Amino acid sequence: MAGTFTTKTKKVGAGSSGGTEPAADAEPDADGRARSRKRPGRAEEGGLTWRLRLRRDRSLILMTLPAVALLLVFNYAPLFGLITAFEYYDPLVGVLHSDWAGLDQFRALFNDPLFWGALRNTLWLSFVQLVLFFPIPIALALVLNSVTSERLRNFIQSVVYLPHFFSWVLAITIFQQMLGGAGVLNHFLAQHNLGTWDVMTDPHTFALLVTSQAVWKEAGWGIIVFLAALAAIDQNLYEAAAVDGAGRWRRMWHITLPGMRGVIVLMLVLRLGNALTVGFEQFLIQRDAVGHDTADVLDTFSFYYGITTNNYSYGAAAGLFKSVISLLLIWGANRVAHAFGEDGLYRK
């Protein structure tokens, strides 16, 4: 499986980066091998054969080996491990000798109400985050960009970026202390005889809770890309528009938003492509508090019904299902971006 991907993408790489390579020398290649006729741009560089180039660059290739080795072991080997999704994997006999299951694991998966529950939760939470989370960094970036004092702007940026560097354990602990049963909120409610509301264990508001956690932790960091897009807008456009009588809002509508369009579409593509990934660690930590009916998403499903139950093949099948749908989503979201005339994640 890895092999097919490599060859396919190699072709793409050679084709797309051809433009940056210098044109092949006018003289034909000295030794005129068949190989160099196939790829003239590469073999003729500096009139060197691939053997000489290999010798010249061997230390560069050597440098990449540790990283390549780690990726082969921990990223490519697991790709072959996906075979377990089609087996009745038994740790005692290993991947190669386990009994073949065909599509049985997937059949079981699609008949499992817990799996459909996890899928439903994933899509629902993803949707809530898209609607409530996505616009916030854009709005924040616009507000921050309109602050004229540079020092104040830097200070606010430092503060809002900070939670991104906290772990989920820490972020959720802080939420627990603020909104939990013994937290600041309930202390305040109790003092004013307003009853109690343990937000952290309430399944009905779980989607809002995890979204506000995501906003607290990541929305500030999310403004970086939008601020960069805003900084790239030509200031002369604003001046020209102002001189022509365009007010604040019209300038925002006709200059700022079109200037951010590319980035917004890109972030939207990424968000849609990752629709099946909604904060794995975040749900792992809070599952016990709100119950698995509410907090199980596809990623945690693999963990709880694959690893903790030693039902590896079942979990691998769920993981593979997620990966395939995710790839389709990325592809589809890109098609949509291209339809709107934007680059999206990769170009056409």
Partner 1 sequence: MSQTLTHTLNRPALRPDRNKGRPAWDEQPGAAGQTLKGGVLLLVLAVVLVPLWIVVLTSFSTSGAINRAGGLVLVPDGLTLDAYRAVLGDGPVTRALLVSLVITAAGTLLSMVVSVLCAYGLSRSRSFGHRTILMLLIVTMFVSGGLIPTYLVVTGLGGYGQYWALVLPGAVSVFNILVLRAFYSGTAADLIDAARMDGCSQWRILWSVVLPTSRAVTAVVALFYAVGYWNSFFNVMLYMPTESAKWPLQYVLLQYVSYGQSIPGTTNSGFGSLHQQSAPLSLQMAVVVLTLVPILLVYPFMQKHFKTGVLTGAIKG
Residues 71-110 that bind partner 1 (CB under 8 A): 71, 73-82, 84, 89, 91, 94-95
Q: Of the two residues 107 and 146, which places its CB atom closer to partner 1 in the complex?
A: 146
280 interacts with partner 1 by CB under 8 A:
yes
Shortest separation between residue 187's beta carbon and partner 1, angstroms = 5
Yes or no: say if 2 and 76 are a contact pair by the CB < 8 Å rule: yes
Q: Which of 139, 204, 167 is nearest to 279 (CA)?
A: 167
Return left, alpha or beta for 21; rule: phi > 0 is left, psi -120 to 50 is alpha, else beta.
Answer: beta
23 interacts with partner 1 by CB under 8 A:
no
Binders of partner 1 in range 31-50 (CB under 8 A)? 45-46, 50
Q: String of b and e for 258-288 (b: at least 16 CB within 10 Å)?
A: ebbebbbbbbbbebbbebbebbeebbbbbbe
Binding residue (CB under 8 A) for partner 1 from 93, 169, 208, 328: 169
279 interacts with partner 1 by CB under 8 A:
no
Binding residue (CB under 8 A) for partner 1 from 104, 112, 198, 281: 281
Please state, in angstroms and rounded to a whole number, the distance separating the CA atoms of residues 252 and 238: 9
Binders of partner 1 in range 190-209 (CB under 8 A)? 191
10 interacts with partner 1 by CB under 8 A:
yes
Q: Of the two residues 96 and 341, which places its CB atom closer to partner 1 in the complex?
A: 96
Shortest separation between residue 265's beta carbon and partner 1, angstroms = 19
Options 24-32, 115-123, 161-169, 334-342: segment touching partner 1 (CB under 8 A): 161-169
Options 6-14, 27-35, 100-108, 109-117: segment touching partner 1 (CB under 8 A): 6-14
Q: Write the single-letter amino acid at 75.
A: N
Shortest separation between residue 197's beta carbon and partner 1, angstroms = 15
Options 151-159, 203-211, 254-262, 336-344: segment touching partner 1 (CB under 8 A): 151-159
Q: What is the DSSP string of 40-71?
A: HHHHTGGG--HHHHHHHTHHHHHHHHHHHHHH
Yes or no: say if 217 and 251 are a contact pair by the CB < 8 Å rule: no
Two tokens, residue 146:
């309109």
Q: String of b and e for 290-309 (b: at least 16 CB within 10 Å)?
A: bebebbbbbbbbbbbbbeee
328 interacts with partner 1 by CB under 8 A:
no
Please state, in angstroms and rounded to a whole number, the distance separating the CA atoms of residues 328 and 233: 33
131 interacts with partner 1 by CB under 8 A:
no
248 interacts with partner 1 by CB under 8 A:
yes
30 interacts with partner 1 by CB under 8 A:
no
59 interacts with partner 1 by CB under 8 A:
yes
57 interacts with partner 1 by CB under 8 A:
yes
Q: Which of 49, 50, 13, 17 is nearest to 31 (CA)?
A: 49
